Amino acid sequence: MPQLSGNPNEKLTGPLVVNLIYDGLCTFEFALAAEIFGLARPELGPQWYRYASAAVEAGPLRAHGGLQISAEAGIELLAMADLIVIAGWKGADQPVPIALIDALQQAWARGARLASICSGVFVLAATGLLAGKKATTHWRYAEQLQRQYPDISVDADVLYVEQQRIYTSAGSAAGIDLLLHIVRQDFGAAVANSVARRLVMPPHRSGGQAQFIERPVPVDLHHRIAKVMDLVRKELTTDWTVDLMADAAAMSRRTFLRRFSEAISQSPSQWLIDTRIAEAKQLLETTLLPLEQISALVGFGSLQTLRHHFLRKLGITPTSYRRTFSYHQQPTDEGE
């Protein structure tokens, strides 16, 4: 048993968190778990987490940023872990060692929790433990994850997912939200908020909150579809319907629906809503315009409609989004 990290003045008795190390380590993701679970927090008492790192392969091991690293233990430590953190992985197509797969399967079977950050989900997927479950990852990996593991229900629109003691999170920052969620489960909201303050982080973003990204548009769109999309973006206040967009593309409604879906894997109606939300987000971030005016400018018409779509798609209100992401100091918006 290795010497575990923690407060040197107290004997820690809390859950054992094991943070995996591998060659090509994602340094930032690894550091998130080390900071949250491995930092000494004497004010929280001896029940705080015990923490150790474990190498999944023989060294020398390298980490992003030109670092060479070594772990406190080897893969055998997973047999004692209460929580195992998989902080990214070498690549979506990189094989997962059989010994690691076996160790993770055995750990979960005896009751341990497993958590992945970003591309670390590919390690969990390789174990088969995500089959039939919902999971998430960074939006750029979502399609590949779904192709490689069709028995997983991949949701690229959320920050993190928890199912049957298995946790998956989106991109790097979402890993902080997931790990704080685990702290909240183990020690309550007050302790999680204390940890968040040390990180200078908001204390809670729910797992259902959307990843705030703008999805890239494929470069090989049919040119008429692309022209319609550009037209709609320029004239968002127009009352766009599928028929009106089809006319602008000089296509029948049926052909337009098929071509549009083939191009971006969304219906025109859903794309229009997402486009209006994206424009509203930009205005909320960069202007002091009242919410009612933003609603009109992006084509939603009423504040009620804007709020409905924000809650349904992003899981928060426009006011909350502005408070979190605005470049300006904001007064309280009326109407929410």
220-235 per-position pLDDT tens digit: 456 788 889 889 989 9
Closest to 259 (Cα-Cα) out of 276, 275, 271, 277: 271
97-118 exposure pattern, b = at least 16 Cβ within 10 A, e = fewer:
eeebbebbeebbeeebbbbbbb
| Domain 223-325 -> CATH class | mainly alpha
Annotated domain spans of the chain: 16-199, 223-325
194: pLDDT strictly greater than 70: yes
The b-or-e profile of 73-84 (16+ CB within 10 A means b, else e) is bebebbeebbbb
Average pLDDT (308-326) is 88
* Of residues 47, 51, 41, the one with CA closest to residue 20: 51
pLDDT of 163 strictly over 70: yes
From the list 87, 104, 310, the residue with the least C-alpha distance to 179 is: 87
Helix (H, G, I), strand (E, B) or coil at 69: strand
Average pLDDT over residues 235-240: 95
Model pLDDT for residues 103-158, shown as the tens digit of each residue: 999 999 999 999 999 999 999 999 999 999 999 999 889 999 999 999 999 998 88
- The pLDDT score that the predictor gives to residue 147 is 94
Query: pLDDT grade, residue 219 (50/70/90)?
Result: very low
Kindly report the length of the chain: 336
Would you identify the CATH topology of the domain 16-199? Rossmann fold (3.40.50)
What pTM was computed for the model? 0.64
Reference 115, options 141, 93, 136; nearest CA is 136
Q: Is the dihedral of CA 281, 284, 287, 290 positive or negative?
A: positive
